[in-house]
């Protein structure tokens, strides 16, 4: 079986921001295989809204010209880890739209390794993190382009929004490129809600929490735009956002 | 009852005193215009009255329809009937006008103990005000001010004012950026929305042109953080002829 039995330590790069005590309660993590065979298209959702600890590890293989649209929403767990390994053959296309919302002492993380193994494969990752209280949110994303995988187009857009100065965001996009003709764009930003925008909304009569919720809804929606089931994802995220803006200081 | 009574207002931005003893009284049914040189503190006055964070009141008082305005949060001021038309309306990506305005209108109604507007009722109201300002309803489905031209933003401010139906509107350079036709349309819009015995307007402007449409009862000159001269509509004309240095 595809299971790693030894509990990782902080020395493992992929686990350096993890809540290892919480991870121990759900270890070992059984890998979930997702294979999309050549020429087919699929969409999947990973939605974790429950409390407690959760760790998942997806092993995605995309055949020639295969497509996967994967959306992830983690909003609720005290510890939530979603690890995604993706291997793309020639002409395959991988889309990840992920949002993680945390407050209190919650720790959420998304760890991806996207390997472009064939020619002209494309991948796009959009990750949006909203953190209140003393929460920690992490994105570790490695893009590996193997020898000969020319024509690769890999994109990462990673943004985190801190509602309180006491929250922590970690973001680390990484590139390992062994091919020549490669387009890899990554944007990475940690910020706070635009104070001018907030005042504008409040001056029209929106209470502060609602003004924040509206702006955060827009922020999160970028991760789910165009997804099958977009509305349900938006709604699930919104319920959690209401809680976050309520608990923000 | 007076609509707005500002007494000896002092305020600082980033620890820098900007308003230095501003006094102004506005009664229901009146239209006031404030003119004054760049940097005089006109926008600051609007922001202080709107409750913008970072604008610290260091002295004086403001009474709005019998309430201590300075004790209220920005959204409570809106619910009490205050509207601030921004000199530079803010772009908010991903949030549509209709979505936010419906929530804002209903939050105001809730604050006043009124029933919320249904989706249908709100859209009908929004359409009516968009038509009044000759703005394409489709623009209100777009994200707030994003990609709007300068003039379109100002027109959208007036549509918002129409929808929210305030008692007192403080309009900060609503005329700047408007083309000739838009200026007339916005002027007529202001009259249609705000000319009423129980409402009042404070227009902040640099030019007579808006005052040709929205005729003020009083004109004030704000310089160095206080009102240095007040008069009737003729004062605006005189200022335009002779400039601030000669008049105030
Ligand atoms: N954040 C800030 N930090 C320091 N000074 C500020 C800040 N905001 C405004 N000021 C100063 O306050 C003064 C008043 O600005 P305000 O915007 O109220 O002027 P105004 O009368 O509206 O001018 P204009 O006609 O150009 O719109 C200006 O000197 C401006 O530089
Ligand atoms: Mg100004």
Q: E strand or H helix at A95, and its extent?
A: strand A93-102
Residue A5: predicted pLDDT: 82
Tokens representing B102? 């419906």
Instruction: State the nearest Cα–Cα gap between B135 and chain A, in angstroms.
Output: 19
Q: In angstroms, how far is CA A23 from the centroid of its own chain?
A: 18
C-alpha count within 13 angstroms, C-beta hemisphere, residue B80 = 23
CB contact under 8 A, B100 and A214: yes
Residue B184: predicted pLDDT: 94
Q: What tens digit of pLDDT does each residue of A121-146 get?
A: 999 999 999 999 999 999 999 999 99
- Residue of B43, B174, B176, B202 to test ligand 1 pocket, by largest number of atoms within 8 Å of CB: B43
Distance B18 CA to ligand 2 centre (A): 12
Residue A247: predicted pLDDT: 61
Beta bridge partners of A79: A53, A107
Instruction: State the nearest Cα–Cα gap between B207 and chain A, in angstroms.
Output: 25
Residue B1: predicted pLDDT: 86
Instruction: State the nearest Cα–Cα gap between A218 and chain B, in angstroms.
Output: 5
Residue B231 phi, psi (nearest 5): -165, -165
Residue A217 and residue A222: Cα distance in Å, rounded? 9
Q: What's the rounded mean pLDDT across residues A202-206? A: 97
Q: Is the pLDDT confidence value at A249 over 60?
A: no
Dihedral angle of Cα A198, B168, B121, B189, to the nearest 10 degrees: -100
CB contact under 8 A, B104 and A204: yes
Q: Is the pLDDT confidence value at A1 over 70?
A: no
Residue A212 and residue A86: Cα distance in Å, rounded? 35
Residue B245: predicted pLDDT: 84
Quick check: A22 and A78 in contact, CB under 8 A?
A: yes
Residue A2: predicted pLDDT: 65
Q: Is the dihedral of CA B203, B206, B210, B212 positive or negative?
A: positive
Quick check: B36 and B86 in contact, CB under 8 A?
A: no
Tokens representing A154? 């890999």
**Chain B residues close to A206, C-beta within 8 Å:** 75, 100, 103-104, 107
CB contact under 8 A, A215 and B79: no
Quick check: A204 and B104 in contact, CB under 8 A?
A: yes
Beta bridge partners of B229: B221
DSSP character at residue B69: G
List Cβ neighbours of A141 (8 Å cut-off, separation of 6 or more): A110, A111, A112, A113, A114, A125, A127, A156, A158, A172, A173, A174
- Ligand closest to Cα of B226 equals 1
For chain A, report the end-to-end CA distance as a whole number of angstroms: 46
Which one of B85, B87, B92 would you mutate to disrupt binding with A, by most A Cβ within 10 Å of its Cβ? B92
CB contact under 8 A, A203 and B50: yes
CB contact under 8 A, A200 and B144: yes
Residue B247: predicted pLDDT: 78
Of B141, B123, B124, B191, which is closest to residue B161 (Cα–Cα)?
Answer: B191
**Chain A residues close to B167, C-beta within 8 Å:** none
Atom of ligand 1 nearest to the CA of B14: 3
pLDDT tens per residue across all 248 residues of chain B = 899 999 999 999 999 999 999 999 999 999 999 999 999 999 999 999 999 999 999 999 999 999 999 999 999 999 999 999 999 999 999 999 999 999 999 999 998 899 999 999 999 999 999 999 999 999 999 999 999 999 999 999 999 999 999 999 999 999 998 999 999 999 999 999 999 999 999 999 999 999 999 999 999 999 999 999 999 999 999 998 888 888 77
Of A70, A181, A34, which is closest to residue A121 (Cα–Cα)?
Answer: A181
Of A192, A191, A194, A209, which is closest to residue B74 (Cα–Cα)?
Answer: A209
Residue B205 and residue A113: Cα distance in Å, rounded? 57
Distance A86 CA to ligand 2 centre (A): 53
For chain B, report the end-to-end CA distance as a whole number of angstroms: 30
- Put simply, whether A221 touches B (Cβ < 8 Å) is yes
- Our answer on whether the CB atom of B190 is closer than 6 Å to any ligand 1 atom is no
Residue A140 and residue A142: Cα distance in Å, rounded? 7
Q: Decide: pTM greater than 0.90.
A: yes
Which one of B14, B103, B140, B163 would you mutate to disrupt binding with A, by most A Cβ within 10 Å of its Cβ? B103
Residue B97: predicted pLDDT: 95
Distance A155 CA to ligand 1 centre (A): 41
CB contact under 8 A, A205 and B105: yes
Interface of B with A (CB under 8 A): 50-54, 73-75, 77-79, 84, 86, 89-95, 99-101, 103-105, 107-108, 111, 143-144, 160, 164
The residues spanned by each domain of chain A are 3-193
Q: What tens digit of pLDDT does each residue of A67-76 get?
A: 999 999 999 9
List Cβ neighbours of B138 (8 Å cut-off, separation of 6 or more): none
List Cβ neighbours of A107 (8 Å cut-off, separation of 6 or more): A17, A18, A19, A22, A78, A79, A80, A135, A136, A137, A138
Tokens representing B85? 């038309």
Q: Is the pLDDT confidence value at A248 over 60?
A: no
Residue A199 and residue B41: Cα distance in Å, rounded? 19
CB contact under 8 A, B103 and A214: yes
Atom of ligand 1 nearest to the CA of B37: 25
Helix, strand, coil shares of chain B as percentages rounded to 5?
40, 30, 30
Residue nearest atom 19 in ligand 1 by C-alpha distance: B39
DSSP B24-53: EEE-TT-EEEEE--TTSSHHHHHHHHHT-T
Residue nearest atom 27 in ligand 1 by C-alpha distance: B38
Chain B: residue whose CA lies nearest to A218: B94
């Amino acid at each position: 079986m595809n299971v790693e039995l030894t509990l990782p330590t902080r020395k493992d790069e992929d686990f350096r921001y993890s809540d290892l005590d919480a991870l121990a309660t759900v270890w070992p993590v059984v890998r979930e295989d997702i294979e999309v065979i050549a020429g087919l298209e699929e969409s999947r959702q990973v939605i974790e809204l429950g409390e407690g600890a959760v760790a998942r590890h997806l092993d995605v293989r995309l055949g020639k010209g295969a497509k996967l649209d994967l959306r992830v929403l983690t909003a609720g767990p005290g510890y939530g880890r979603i690890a995604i390994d993706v291997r793309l053959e020639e002409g395959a296309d991988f889309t990840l739209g992920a949002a993680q919302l945390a407050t209190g002492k919650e720790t959420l993380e998304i760890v991806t390794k996207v390997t472009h193994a064939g020619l002209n494969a494309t991948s796009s990752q959009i990750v949006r993190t909203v953190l209140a209280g003393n929460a920690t949110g992490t994105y570790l994303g490695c893009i590996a382009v193997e020898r000969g995988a020319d024509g690769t187009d890999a994109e990462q857009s990673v943004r985190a929004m801190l509602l309180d100065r006491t929250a922590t965001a970690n973001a680390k996009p990484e590139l390992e490129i062994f091919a020549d003709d490669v387009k890899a764009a990554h944007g990475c930003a940690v910020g706070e809600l635009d104070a001018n925008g907030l005042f504008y909304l409040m001056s029209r009569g929106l209470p502060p929490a609602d003004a924040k919720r509206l702006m955060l809804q827009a922020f999160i929606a970028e991760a789910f735009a165009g997804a099958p089931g977009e509305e349900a994802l938006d709604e699930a995220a919104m319920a959690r956002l209401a809680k976050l803006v309520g608990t923000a200081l | 009852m007076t609509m707005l009574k500002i007494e000896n207002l002092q305020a600082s931005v980033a620890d820098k005193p900007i308003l230095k003893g501003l006094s102004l009284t506005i009664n229901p049914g009146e239209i006031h215009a404030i003119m004054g040189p760049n940097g005089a503190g006109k926008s600051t006055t609007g922001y202080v009255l709107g409750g913008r964070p970072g604008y610290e009141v260091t002295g004086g008082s403001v009474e709005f329809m019998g309430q201590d305005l300075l004790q209220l949060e920005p959204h409570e001021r809106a619910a009490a009937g205050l509207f601030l038309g921004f000199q530079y309306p803010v772009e908010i990506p991903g949030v549509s006008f209709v979505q936010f305005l419906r929530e804002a209108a209903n939050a105001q109604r809730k604050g006043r103990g009124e029933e919320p507007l249904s989706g249908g009722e709100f859209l009908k109201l929004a359409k009516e005000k968009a038509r009044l300002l000759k703005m394409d309803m489709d623009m209100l489905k777009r994200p707030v001010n994003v990609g709007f031209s300068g003039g379109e933003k100002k027109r959208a401010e007036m549509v918002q004012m129409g929808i929210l139906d305030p008692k007192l509107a403080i309009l900060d350079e609503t005329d700047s950026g408007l083309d000739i036709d838009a200026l007339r349309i916005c002027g007529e819009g202001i009259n249609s929305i705000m000319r009423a015995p129980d409402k009042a307007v404070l227009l902040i402007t640099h030019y007579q042109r808006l005052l040709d449409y929205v005729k003020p009862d009083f004109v004030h000159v704000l310089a160095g953080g206080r009102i240095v001269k007040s008069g009737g509509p003729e004062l605006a004309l005189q200022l335009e002829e002779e400039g601030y240095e000669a008049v105030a």
